[in-house]
Structure 1
């Protein structure tokens, strides 16, 4: 009898005295299935992440794996395969939840729907809506999971949809409105802890955390290719793991008789982590396939094409040789007087040597179409002003140019920063009509270029064509690539 009573006492202490714990593994910026190598070293890869996931699940069966968004376009791999290899890998891993980044929509709403439909895990969106107001593709606005007595609620928001395709099929609901609505629903669910997944800027995340104290942690998009970043609002973290799946944020939520507490650590996804063998086979398959499909030489590069992508992002605030080259290719293709390229659309830098097909696509991975239109000089000046309106934030709207030059002062008020605009060396004439080759993304109002909707007609020399196709044909024609800085853009 004493043994039975003692056993019951031990069991009672196990049930009522022990902490309950949930482990959340979070990563994002999932553009490439295999490890990335650059100036910051080698990092990422689904095979290493699989190893970390399996290890965590052995330690704690209550492990939830979350992908924060951007598994589609943005780089060469995404441009070619549109995110579907990542879905294949995440189904095998498996992950549990994915939020939407902007890049899931780079190739259209239909492709984004296909990504969701092929997923065995749950997608979440609290603020992406169909035209009728329903959640995008019928995904849940919030998810509640009970881990042996710890109820966790998950919300997911997407910001900056104006930086991807222009469409009226879906819209981005106001973040604060959608969060407030879904938090009310989660309150009725009596959750112990709320996790918000975001794709917002740090300032917005802080605003959200301060406005909604019900949120326990924000898992945000990456802000650095080199560093993990965490900001605390009180004791609540806003967490940004390293870009390109370079690290995993591990957030442990612990519940006991004293309430809820949390513990955060970052796990590096580097060569210190042994790769899962089956996942490594998948990585190697796609690495080899990409080289077979796109590895042939189309030109010789004499100088580095330097956009600053992933580093100082110089194509977003100053003239670059690669910006000149791309804008020149558009202008050459359509035979226009001018060429424009938004700096945020240039997604790589290329070292000297053999210039391969994959290099051309890695520079322009979004498959944006380029067209040619007529504009008055005053409209073009207004567009240049819009281009420099957020240089302090290194906004992608900054215009790289061909056939036109200008100066700007980023310290002056927005709308009056541009001066000395010249077309082929002569002062621009405000009421004169000029022909311009430019991405349809900005032509249709993307990045705030509403003025470019007001054209004076279309230049009908050639049909609208995908940007990388135009650029690659231009490279094949010139063969030897040696673009220089020419003083097209001067900053004060």
Structure 2
């Protein structure tokens, strides 16, 4: 995006550039709605656009009165505005046009440009209705529409009449029709609605105000696939079908391709990458879960392999990889128009049909708390974005895409797409991820500052359920003039044969592992509810006690006691519980899908006061969801979700000798959790302090194996919600 003079009128008033999807183009302006123009009215988009630009206005009662005839004065106003004619001091010869009338200036502009004439030499008749023939003549003159020989179907026209060249020209160019198949009705008054529609179409087709043509950019986008590959052959079909229509469309991913299913557990990103290479992605940025393996014995070797084997470049503007033994050599802190596949750049410039498109990447600073980046560092996203935009503009890119994994509406105190759009000038498009947001239509954010252009934000939910599409129309200055976007539902697509064959090479092993039984049997389904699910419920594993959370923490406590009998409490961050367990035999596949991160069991020595601090952090976002919300075993507590953050926790009791007793804030407790949380993951600074002080022991026991052993030992499992965590605001 570059600053420049806006085009004199909408280049995409009626329809945007050729769209990836059958969606109307939206003009970038705040719509003014009229009570008599419903959203499903065929003129709705055009009227919204014209009203937002001040080209048309309604009546005091809030109506536009579409079917009311339009006067010569009103036509003068809208024509002079859309053509943006300069003021003129030409003296009018019309005796019925008062010097200070509301329409006089517009009539002067049109008259001096030979676009409009009077009824005769001295009479303009401003209040007289405009006929269909008169308006056709005005448009012919205003837009210099080429006349063409064609046979008209209308039987009510006089072939020698003054209006014939205009009617013929507009009809030949597909701009005008009759009131029925054989009747044009040249003397019939034109309605306000028809005038707007006809003017919009004519202006779009014949406006020569902009010397250079605009540019159309098409994008396909995905985010938060999380190793859900079973429907990937359908995604491949959708991508291929779009490319058949739009071969130059970019394909971008906004991170968290990896982690979440057995495909990642078995292949560490190589299966996911095989399909990305097949689909020929143009660029990707990193999600927080790309760094989940950082605490494993191999460190970021799997991520290194994922990057180096990619047939596309990565963009990352706010991550410092330099200290990491694997990733440091892959990163170049530069902006380049000649990126190599399998390498990481601050930003890149891609050329599409001769136009320079800048792309840079951002990853949430929360990654330090919610993943395992180790010595990989994260910098402020706004500072990084501003520098990236400046660098891209210096290279001549005036159409800039931010490929982000910071969330559409995440905590604004940390980072999110809407804050990015409002604070950083020069970003045209944000292709986002992280918050798993289903943006059925693009969202436009405009800063209050007059000199900031709008930014379009898109996001395509999760798990390859959708392929996002976006078409954007730019003028010659890189300023957005229109857009259209949609989400293509992947479940409705056919499987691509090549992709289906490729999936078979990975799925056989996954199916074998998935179907192995653990030895435990669930008497009933163990849900893992989320507010984002198709439900009106406000209950979530990330803000409430769940039966599955109880089962997992009971298993952690049981295993921890084998190594330290003094362990009395276990806690599990809910962000580490990824899905539900079905009724019946519990398979290895289910367990690995529930607990996919390869965490290990750790023991912490905490004062009671520190434990209470951790509980305050756990409920700090309630009633909203938080991955740091703790499921617990060996204790119970109350909290008030309506209370002030930092003062939500009420009573806290710990199981001692078979009964609950009040937490002793001065006593030291042995608390089991996963190594991720024990090192301060999900923002648990209290745990991080204990880790730094040597009060944490990582037992090195795999969380999923511990859980497998626990349910096998139980045989039949039927956990319930026991009142371990109670929100008193709901009582």
- TM-score between the two structures when normalised by the length of structure 2: 0.61
Residue in structure 2 matched with residue 318 of structure 1 by the alignment:
544
Cα distance in 1 for partners of 2:611, 2:212 equals 70
Contact 2:637 2:652 in 1 (8 A): yes
Pair 1:30 & 2:220 matched: no
Tell me how far 1:439 sits from its aligned partner: 1.1
Pair 1:238 & 2:238 matched: no
Q: How does 1:80-229 map to 2 (within 5 A)?
A: 80-108=266-294, 109-131=300-322, 137-138=330-331, 139-159=344-364, 160-203=366-409, 204-221=416-433, 223-224=435-436, 228=440
Contact 2:261 2:593 in 1 (8 A): yes
Contact 2:225 2:257 in 1 (8 A): yes
Contact 2:218 2:246 in 1 (8 A): yes
Tell me how far 1:444 sits from its aligned partner: 1.0
Cα distance in 1 for partners of 2:696, 2:357 equals 56
Cα distance in 1 for partners of 2:476, 2:469 equals 23
Pair 1:72 & 2:265 matched: no
Q: Deviations over 1:246-277 (max 9, x none)?
A: 22222223356586534232242334322210
Contact 2:526 2:581 in 1 (8 A): yes
Contact 2:243 2:249 in 1 (8 A): yes
Cα distance in 1 for partners of 2:323, 2:703 equals 33
Q: How does 1:399-438 map to 2 (within 5 A)?
A: 399-424=630-655, 425-438=660-673
- Change over 3 Å in CA distance of 1:170–1:227 after alignment to 2: same
* Alignment equivalent of 1:381, drawn from 612, 627, 634: 612
Cα distance in 2 for partners of 1:307, 1:329 equals 17
Contact 2:227 2:260 in 1 (8 A): no
Residue in structure 2 matched with residue 41 of structure 1 by the alignment:
none
* Alignment equivalent of 1:467, drawn from 670, 690, 703: 703
Q: Which ranges of structure 2 fall in alignment gaps of 5 or more residues? A: 1-207, 295-299, 332-343, 410-415, 447-453, 562-566
Cα distance in 2 for partners of 1:444, 1:303 equals 34
Tell me how far 1:95 sits from its aligned partner: 1.1
Q: How does 1:242-261 map to 2 (within 5 A)?
A: 242-255=461-474, 260=479, 261=481
Cα distance in 1 for partners of 2:439, 2:521 equals 34
Residue range with higher mean Cα deviation, 442-451 or 199-208: 199-208
Residue range with higher mean Cα deviation, 166-175 or 88-97: 166-175
Tell me how far 1:457 sits from its aligned partner: 6.6
Tell me how far 1:315 sits from its aligned partner: 1.4
Contact 1:27 1:68 in 2 (8 A): yes
Contact 1:46 1:89 in 2 (8 A): yes
Residue in structure 1 matched with residue 679 of structure 2 by the alignment:
444
Contact 1:194 1:215 in 2 (8 A): yes
Cα distance in 2 for partners of 1:228, 1:242 equals 9
- Change over 3 Å in CA distance of 1:402–1:257 after alignment to 2: closer
Tell me how far 1:224 sits from its aligned partner: 4.8
- Change over 3 Å in CA distance of 1:57–1:19 after alignment to 2: farther
Q: Deviations over 1:373-409 (max 9, x none)?
A: 3221111111111111122431111111101110001
- Change over 3 Å in CA distance of 1:372–1:224 after alignment to 2: closer
Residue range with higher mean Cα deviation, 315-324 or 17-26: 17-26
Pair 1:300 & 2:486 matched: no
- Change over 3 Å in CA distance of 1:67–1:90 after alignment to 2: same
Cα distance in 1 for partners of 2:224, 2:715 equals 34
Residue range with higher mean Cα deviation, 176-185 or 22-31: 22-31
Residue in structure 1 matched with residue 40 of structure 2 by the alignment:
none
Cα distance in 1 for partners of 2:430, 2:637 equals 41
Contact 1:72 1:105 in 2 (8 A): no
Residue in structure 2 matched with residue 5 of structure 1 by the alignment:
none
Residue in structure 2 matched with residue 49 of structure 1 by the alignment:
235
- Change over 3 Å in CA distance of 1:259–1:231 after alignment to 2: closer
Residue in structure 2 matched with residue 338 of structure 1 by the alignment:
569
Contact 2:618 2:630 in 1 (8 A): yes
- Change over 3 Å in CA distance of 1:259–1:46 after alignment to 2: same
Residue range with higher mean Cα deviation, 140-149 or 251-260: 251-260
Residue in structure 1 matched with residue 713 of structure 2 by the alignment:
477
Q: Deviations over 1:62-118 (max 9, x none)?
A: 221111111111344333332221101111221111111111111123322221011
Contact 1:342 1:396 in 2 (8 A): yes
**Rg: which structure is higher?**
2
Residue in structure 1 matched with residue 688 of structure 2 by the alignment:
453
Contact 1:30 1:70 in 2 (8 A): yes
Contact 2:460 2:487 in 1 (8 A): no
- Change over 3 Å in CA distance of 1:145–1:459 after alignment to 2: closer
Root-mean-square deviation (CA, aligned residues, Å) is 2.5
Contact 2:228 2:464 in 1 (8 A): no
| Number of equivalenced pairs | 468
Tell me how far 1:441 sits from its aligned partner: 1.3
Residue in structure 2 matched with residue 268 of structure 1 by the alignment:
488
- Change over 3 Å in CA distance of 1:198–1:226 after alignment to 2: closer
3-state DSSP of counterpart to 2:586: strand
Cα distance in 2 for partners of 1:202, 1:20 equals 27
Contact 1:125 1:136 in 2 (8 A): no
Tell me how far 1:19 sits from its aligned partner: 5.4
Tell me how far 1:473 sits from its aligned partner: 0.8
Cα distance in 2 for partners of 1:226, 1:282 equals 28
* Alignment equivalent of 1:286, drawn from 487, 498, 506: 506
Residue in structure 1 matched with residue 162 of structure 2 by the alignment:
none
Contact 1:195 1:219 in 2 (8 A): yes
Tell me how far 1:372 sits from its aligned partner: 1.6
Moved over 6 A (4+): 133-136
